[in-house]
Structure 1
Amino acid sequence: MLLSIFSKLMATSVFLLFLPLIFFSSSSSSTFDRSSRASSLSVEHADDVLTSRNGIFSAGFFPVGDNAYCFAVWFSEPDSEGNRTIVWMANRDQPVNGRKSELSVLKSGNVIITDAGRFTVWSTDTVSESPVFLKLDENGNLILQNSEGVLWQSFDSPTDTLLPQQLLTKDMKLVSSRSQWNFSSGFYKLYFGDDNVLHLQYGGPHISIYWPNPWLMSWEAGRSTYNSSRIAFLDPLGYFSSSDNFNFTSADYGERVQRRLKLDYDGNIRLYSRNHRMEKWTVSWQAMSEPCMIHGSCGPNSICSHVPHLGRKCSCLQGFKIRDRTDWSLGCVPEFNLTCTTNETGFLKLSHVEFFGYDYGFFPNYTVERCENQCLHTCECKGFQFKFVKHNYANNIPYCYPKTELLNGHHSPNFEGDLYLKVPKKTLPFQETGLDCPSIVVKQINRTYTKNPENASQKFVVRFAIVFGAVELGVIFVVGCCFLRAHQNSSAGTHNYYRMATGFRKFTLSELKKATRGFSEEIGRGGGGVVYKGVLSDHRIAAIKRLNDASDQGEADVEILFEVALKCVAEDKDARPTMKEVVEMLLRQENDSELV
């Protein structure tokens, strides 16, 4: 099928040779689709472009940086420089100056690009005795031809894009750009390997193949190695077919839309399509559904993790720091010096983390401890991968993969394996030592316990004690109040009795305090007390003696009541006073509180 398609394409190319050749000079037209012998396109003239007959594609000098230009082919719409969709570049790795640089079609039949110093930076390396013409075909193919046929075409030397009707053969490869805005050659390639299988390869500082899945055999990935034709083709309807038995159809298969298959700078190959020239491109197919499975995403000593709707994220391993914050492909460098001394080195376990490749061997049926010992005694070992591998003839077998380099790292919950990172012991996190519990099955013994019946007499005694205590406290409070009131009444009666019988009046402590202005003017002192000068309510001057054992009657009453109450509620029952003792305390206080 692919060979018949190729034959049709060649027949179409031969047919184009017989089309009338018309000469357009740059002075007579701002855009043209052919250039004759000895003609040129200048970088200084923005209108010096080739346009396909259907107007879909254009070719000319495209700015790739500050005063840097490459000759390229792009979709004509949108026509603004910042939004142009590039499909091919001639001198992507050697841009020319923005002045005096040009593309020239020589009389010798060669096409060259020269810079301001007239130095040739790119050429088709073709020779022709007859006149040659440069033509931009309607499918985006830039063709150099003479009367005998095609001398050179851009479809034979693609950059990062495959267009419909363009073949990818064993001598061709797609090479990604360095970044979204850096169009120079990047690290990723799509090509046919010597095994006749179409591969995606990371070609940075360390080369590795990541598509199809390197863990799988070719036949397990649905690929065939028997067809040595090594040819792949994308048709205009969105169907891709390869000689290694790989094929796919786009999500919008069958629609007549613009399409392009591109190896993006992130290492993923995607099919883009759009209905109208001014619409944005949409992804209708992609090779890698897990971006972190693409090798070289984050560089050495780093881990790639994918967050839905946010994309992939790079992070350094513990104990490492990023080399260049503007370029994650350079990875991370260690912040420690790893020695070959085994007693100073340990391992940090990273679950569900995989670092692919760069093993100095693989060892089946190894335990983790045995693998650690293997890595400890190998100075070049940076860590080891430990995982179980399925086998048809046996149960899952543990495999140990010691690593000399930590590249292509990614974290995935679906990966059933662990990485053990080799680090100095002093950098390991502190771990508490747990108990080693034996794996013994504990059998529960069914036991029933009989509850002793409550003793009725004990229950009665407890309740009686509580009630009696409450009644006792109530009686003490009532008796105290009665004594206090009786004391107040008796004091007033006693005062009246003394006044009638002796003619003398008995004063209270508060009255004496008022008369002496708080016992402030001392006029004498004796063994029994101190004599103060005072003025009575009838303005008579009196000498008032304050006895040493006298006290404030009101304050004393309150103090004795509190003292009696506290003793009655003491925690020790034996320390509580009897009713007789309570009465004696109150009477004693009454006799001691009076002041003559």
Structure 2
Amino acid sequence: MAPLFSLLLPVFLSLFLQSCQFSTSALPSLTKRASLSVENPNDVLVSPSGAFSAGFFPVGDNAYSFAVWFSHPPCSGAACTPVWMANRQAPVNGRRSTFSLLDSGNLVLTDAGHAGSKVWSSGTTSPSAAELRLNNTGNLVLTNDTGGVLWQSFDSPTDTLLPQQPLTRNTFLISARCPYNSSTGFYKLYFDNDNVLRLLFDGPSISSVYWPFPWVQSSQLGRFLYNSSRIAVLDPLGRFQSSDNYSLYTSDYGVAAMQRRMILDFDGNLRVYSREPGLTGWAVTWEAISSMPCFIHGVCGNNSLCSYDPAKGRSCSCVPGYVPKVLGDWSAGCVPNFTFSDGCIADECGFVKLPYIDFYGYDYNTIYNTTLEKCRQTCLSLCNCRGFQYRVSMFRSGSTTFNCYPKIELLNGHNLPSFTGEFFIKVPKNKTFTEDQLVKRTRYTCSPTAEVKVLDRTYAKKGKNEAVSFMLRAACVVGGIEIVVVFLVWFFLIRNQQDVTSAHQSYLLAATGFKRFTYDELKEATRNFSKEIGRGAGGIVYEALLPDDRVAAVKVLSNATTGEADFLAEASTIGRVNHMNLIEMWGYCAEGKHRLLVYEFMEHGSLAQNLSSPELHWKRRFDIAVGTAKGLAYLHEECLEWVLHCDVKPQNILLDSDYQPKVADFGLSKLMDRGKVTNSDFSRIRGTRGYMAPEWVSNQSITSKADVYSYGIVMLEMVTGIFPMTTSVHSLESGGDAKQVRLIPWARNKMKELERTGARLEEMEDPALKVDYDLKKMEILIEVALKCVEEDKNARPTMSQVVEKLMKHENDG
């Protein structure tokens, strides 16, 4: 042991003493083993021209992001204009946080307030020397000793594109939440699957494309769909060119000596800003939507209207009978100030006429060439109809038709004087509402409360006494020697334990095919997590190509707080679950704070994405009902552990290449012993509103019958095409979700009406089916679904009973 000790001792002492030293000098570049400190204002990287700086940027009270900003003309703090941020979602505190280039070649941002936790990293490795520099273009570049690029900020933009910075198929812009809140907002600029550059509103509950205008075909706008690349660049002279044949010129195009930036602003508009050297103010020299800013989706939220005055800008107002959900925050929209009876009685309903008002999208169905009275009766007969649009369509031949558009959601509303139609909003007859409410407008702004949390932490003060400082340094030397000795002893002892752990992991891989991946492996497989294919409360899912050429889905868990050992135990249990109607898990990653799951890729996405697709014909829908029931029955009664899914919904039912269903996200539910079927030890309400069983909010024990209830709601939605969250808004006062309760009585009443009068069952079917259905199977499926959504959980069937009932009729017809 002595020879090995003598060889390693100088190395460990050198490393340890370096860790005891502190440097406050500004650096022209960042080299290995060097750091920038949040506490030292001089710790910044500056481009050779002085136009850009990189360092810690204040984003709140004691909250900082590592950022790149314009630094010419000179500026300080929040007065500077940032163009890139590493950690916009997780600011670090203003004491002892550092940005370091490790000896491994990895850039790491650490927050000392979280015990030195890693907030962000570049995920790079370099056996040779590495150096970080800031270029004159504003690009922060990490290179190896031969000049090869290991990482650059241009490959991961936030909300801004700089001249010469490409936007590609693997990159996108996401707006900030507000001018004073740099965390991610609701708007996204990206290339879609048709290779067209688009703007998307991605709100808390819905998403929709709004630029180019979705009612105009891309070919009519000159966009070229069939190209082999997706790339767009703003050049230094002010021209923006995209591979889909879209181009723009700023109003100051051709002036070379200008600072420029393209930014997706918090209000959803894409703009180019310019300024002359030496000036502090920015001027808008181009914007995507200038004449009709109310066409930007999500501006005023649900059940509200956007109006535009060139002198005052945009303003928002609630429709008659509705009030703001969150005062001062129009993105939250409005909620009704009234209620309807649960029976959905048409005689209780009336309409308020709103001229020159349009709500884009979310039509229940379009009824062509009809009368106003028939349109009114159609909306009255639909419990989830919020109102209807009645407008005239004029053709080149001179003929006209009057068309009806019942709305199941009131979104993207705007006041348009040139609109050739009227909107009628449904309200109770016993209350009086007038269109005078529409004048109560408020200018569109963000929420008055900043969402960046104050990082309030207390730290011990640094010692100022020189004698104490000398003693601390001496202690470092002595401690270093002790650490070397302890390390060598630990090294030899731990090898045996590592061999045992390695053998266990090898056995798990051989027995189940369940592999442990490193974070760097999955980062490479997902191309730096560039292609998002889904997201939910549990995390974000990305498409990946594994080293063995298998296409996979990688879920990055957002709220995983379990330790590595606990996570491994749960993940390995999930890996051993095997059923044709359950998503197959291929592996996991538990490294530092990262918790990821790797599972098979589903070609057709989720049931939610396909509900309105003509490919989802009746036979496939019935097969999905049977397959989903089989998967849940296996989880409840047959697998290694008794598993509650806790979040059965269309988004968690995935479809393979043959549209066969596979239940996903069951690994995020709570695992319990089979014998404890009445266990209610849940720390919080789980699931998604609209699909949750009543017992979640009534303090009853949670059993597998909660999943049965959610399954019933999904089946009703799949048959009727009615989303369970589309009726009027109520509170949860009576132990049930009043939004979803509207769908259940409506379905029950329709079935009773069928028995009593012989009414047509077709009235319940999803319009997307277009008479392609089996009446007998539809009736059976609705009956089973209504049994599943009984208020009394004991009256609901088990999932195995559901399977048995449906299987009897699977081959009928």
Same fold per superposition (TM over 0.5) = yes
Change (3 A) 1:221 1:367: farther
1:342 maps to which of 346, 352, 372: 346
Q: Which residue does 1:136 correspond to in 2? A: 134
For residue 407 of structure 1, give the secondary structure of its aligned residue in structure 2.
Answer: coil
Q: Which residue does 2:174 correspond to in 1? A: 175
Shift of 1:409: 0.9
C-alpha distance in structure 2 between counterparts of 1:188 and 1:26, whole Å = 42
Q: Which residue does 1:275 correspond to in 2? A: 276
Q: Which amino acid aligns with 2:166?
A: L
2:298 maps to which of 296, 299, 305: 296
Change (3 A) 1:390 1:190: farther
1:330 maps to which of 329, 332, 338: 332
Q: Which residue does 1:200 correspond to in 2? A: 199
Report Cα offsets for 1:3-53 as digits up to 9, x if no partner.
Answer: xxxxxxxxxxxxxxxxxxxxxx994843x3311101111111111101000
C-alpha distance in structure 2 between counterparts of 1:341 and 1:384, whole Å = 17
1:104 maps to which of 100, 106, 109: 100
Q: Which residue does 2:185 correspond to in 1? A: 186
C-alpha distance in structure 1 between counterparts of 2:434 and 2:392, whole Å = 28
For residue 154 of structure 2, give the secondary structure of its aligned residue in structure 1.
Answer: helix
Higher fraction of strand: 1
C-alpha distance in structure 1 between counterparts of 2:41 and 2:393, whole Å = 60
Q: Which residue does 1:147 correspond to in 2? A: 145
Do 1:353 and 1:411's aligned partners in 2 also have CA atoms closer than 8 Å?
Answer: yes
Q: Which residue does 1:417 correspond to in 2? A: 421
Do 2:59 and 2:78's aligned partners in 1 also have CA atoms closer than 8 Å?
Answer: no
Shift of 1:150: 0.4
1:321 maps to which of 318, 323, 326: 323
Do 1:62 and 1:70's aligned partners in 2 also have CA atoms closer than 8 Å?
Answer: yes
Query: Greater CA radius of gyration, 1 or 2?
Result: 1
Do 1:173 and 1:189's aligned partners in 2 also have CA atoms closer than 8 Å?
Answer: yes
C-alpha distance in structure 1 between counterparts of 2:246 and 2:383, whole Å = 43
Shift of 1:391: 4.7
Shift of 1:361: 2.1
Q: Which amino acid aligns with 2:383?
A: C
Change (3 A) 1:208 1:309: same
Q: Which amino acid aligns with 1:320?
A: Y
C-alpha distance in structure 1 between counterparts of 2:81 and 2:353, whole Å = 46
Report Cα offsets for 1:480-516 as digits up to 9, x if no partner.
Answer: xxxxxxxxxxxxxxxxxxxxxxxxxxxxxxxxxxxxx
C-alpha distance in structure 2 between counterparts of 1:397 and 1:119, whole Å = 65
1:44 maps to which of 8, 15, 39: 39
Shift of 1:367: 2.2
Q: Which amino acid aligns with 1:72?
A: A
For residue 178 of structure 2, give the secondary structure of its aligned residue in structure 1.
Answer: coil
1:236 aligned to 2:236? yes
Do 2:321 and 2:433's aligned partners in 1 also have CA atoms closer than 8 Å?
Answer: no
1:63 aligned to 2:58? yes
Higher fraction of helix: 2
Do 2:24 and 2:43's aligned partners in 1 also have CA atoms closer than 8 Å?
Answer: no
C-alpha distance in structure 2 between counterparts of 1:70 and 1:423, whole Å = 48
1:367 maps to which of 362, 365, 371: 371
Q: Which amino acid aligns with 1:51?
A: V
Shift of 1:373: 1.2
Change (3 A) 1:246 1:343: same
Do 2:57 and 2:78's aligned partners in 1 also have CA atoms closer than 8 Å?
Answer: no
Change (3 A) 1:429 1:202: closer
C-alpha distance in structure 1 between counterparts of 2:225 and 2:403, whole Å = 28
Q: Which amino acid aligns with 1:287?
A: A
Q: Which amino acid aligns with 2:32?
A: R
C-alpha distance in structure 1 between counterparts of 2:22 and 2:228, whole Å = 46
Shift of 1:185: 0.2
Q: Which residue does 1:260 correspond to in 2? A: 261
C-alpha distance in structure 1 between counterparts of 2:307 and 2:294, whole Å = 6
Change (3 A) 1:416 1:277: farther
C-alpha distance in structure 2 between counterparts of 1:371 and 1:359, whole Å = 13
Do 1:262 and 1:269's aligned partners in 2 also have CA atoms closer than 8 Å?
Answer: yes
Report Cα offsets for 1:248-289 as digits up to 9, x if no partner.
Answer: 101011001111001000000111101123331100000011
Change (3 A) 1:78 1:320: farther
C-alpha distance in structure 2 between counterparts of 1:302 and 1:80, whole Å = 40
For residue 331 of structure 2, give the secondary structure of its aligned residue in structure 1.
Answer: helix
C-alpha distance in structure 1 between counterparts of 2:396 and 2:106, whole Å = 60
1:218 aligned to 2:214? no
For residue 64 of structure 1, give the secondary structure of its aligned residue in structure 2.
Answer: strand
Change (3 A) 1:118 1:399: same
Bigger drift between 219-228 and 73-82 goes to 219-228
Q: Which amino acid aligns with 1:252?
A: D
For residue 173 of structure 2, give the secondary structure of its aligned residue in structure 1.
Answer: strand
Count of aligned pairs between the two proteins: 406
Contiguous gaps of at least 5 residues in structure 1: 1-24, 432-596
Bigger drift between 394-403 and 320-329 goes to 394-403
1:35 aligned to 2:33? no
Shift of 1:134: 0.7
Do 1:300 and 1:330's aligned partners in 2 also have CA atoms closer than 8 Å?
Answer: yes
Do 1:213 and 1:221's aligned partners in 2 also have CA atoms closer than 8 Å?
Answer: no
Contiguous gaps of at least 5 residues in structure 2: 1-20, 436-813
Shift of 1:429: 5.1
Shift of 1:338: 2.8
Bigger drift between 180-189 and 276-285 goes to 276-285
Q: Which amino acid aligns with 1:118?
A: G
Identity, % of aligned pairs? 53
1:209 aligned to 2:212? no
Report Cα offsets for 1:397-424 as digits up to 9, x if no partner.
Answer: 3332211111111111122222211111
Do 1:26 and 1:48's aligned partners in 2 also have CA atoms closer than 8 Å?
Answer: no
For residue 359 of structure 1, give the secondary structure of its aligned residue in structure 2.
Answer: coil
Change (3 A) 1:163 1:396: farther
Show the 5 A alignment for 1:476-495: none
Q: Which residue does 2:245 correspond to in 1? A: 245
Larger RCO (alpha carbons 8 Å, 6+ apart): 2
Change (3 A) 1:429 1:207: closer
| TM-score for the superposition, normalised by structure 2 | 0.49
Change (3 A) 1:177 1:313: same
Do 1:353 and 1:412's aligned partners in 2 also have CA atoms closer than 8 Å?
Answer: yes
C-alpha distance in structure 2 between counterparts of 1:56 and 1:297, whole Å = 34
C-alpha distance in structure 1 between counterparts of 2:403 and 2:371, whole Å = 8
Q: Which residue does 2:403 correspond to in 1? A: 399
C-alpha distance in structure 2 between counterparts of 1:430 and 1:283, whole Å = 39
For residue 375 of structure 1, give the secondary structure of its aligned residue in structure 2.
Answer: helix
For residue 219 of structure 2, give the secondary structure of its aligned residue in structure 1.
Answer: coil
Do 2:24 and 2:42's aligned partners in 1 also have CA atoms closer than 8 Å?
Answer: no
Q: Which residue does 1:165 correspond to in 2? A: 164
C-alpha distance in structure 1 between counterparts of 2:288 and 2:350, whole Å = 39
C-alpha distance in structure 2 between counterparts of 1:277 and 1:203, whole Å = 37
Q: Which residue does 1:535 correspond to in 2? A: none
C-alpha distance in structure 1 between counterparts of 2:200 and 2:306, whole Å = 18
| TM-score for the superposition, normalised by structure 1 | 0.66
Do 1:196 and 1:244's aligned partners in 2 also have CA atoms closer than 8 Å?
Answer: yes
For residue 159 of structure 1, give the secondary structure of its aligned residue in structure 2.
Answer: coil
Show the 5 A alignment for 1:522-561: none
For residue 183 of structure 1, give the secondary structure of its aligned residue in structure 2.
Answer: strand
C-alpha distance in structure 1 between counterparts of 2:139 and 2:22, whole Å = 21
1:90 aligned to 2:86? yes
Q: Which amino acid aligns with 2:156?
A: S
